[in-house]
A = this chain, B = another copy of it.
């Protein structure tokens, strides 16, 4: 069992769980391996998190928060200094995660979602995270609309009904039959522009 107070021991368990997830993925995670990596014991882990589901709800919930909560801030940073805003600029700044480099985080995200279908605490945590994310997007879109150039206007539903629901993993499964990032941006640009 590790030295230090309960908070320090909890942090060591969380760090060890993250390392194990890096090593074997979420689906193969074993509590015994998390315990030895944290210089702790299974019963110690259960004291902190009740059971394997409790540990997963905490670790995967933290990961999901990290996937999502910087997204809006990073997006607005890419629009900073562009004044007034145009539909083209708004679409160009959208992160699409089509590249091979973001495949790993797409896969982890899918694994987190899959676990949440059988882990109630995790599912509730993802719902809270999603609610927060929508509130941030709405505030961001208010700010964007207040800075649009005259005659430029966007359909906010594209954010909520297309981008918020999209799963880029499906596009990866399309392989050669898939579309390019440029084709997708052309499509978004066209569908987002509102002509009055």
Contact = CB atoms under 8 A, between A and B. Distances in A.
B107 A110 contact: no
A156 to B, nearest CB: 11
A130 interface: yes
Contact of A113 (B110, B126, B164): B110
The 10 residue pairs across chains A and B that have the minimum distance between CB atoms: A114-B114, A107-B117, A167-B167, A130-B173, A165-B166, A111-B114, A110-B114, A165-B170, A134-B177, A191-B191
A25 B127 contact: no
A143 B166 CA distance: 27
A187 interface: yes
15 contacts: A25-B117, A27-B27, A27-B114, A28-B118, A110-B110, A114-B114, A130-B170, A130-B173, A130-B174, A161-B184, A161-B187, A162-B162, A165-B166, A165-B171, A191-B191
A173 B127 contact: yes
Interface of A: 25, 27-28, 107, 110-111, 113-115, 117-118, 126-127, 130-131, 134, 157, 160-162, 164-171, 173-175, 177, 179, 183-184, 187, 191
How many chain copies? 2
A126 B173 contact: yes
Contacts of A130: 170, 173-175, 177
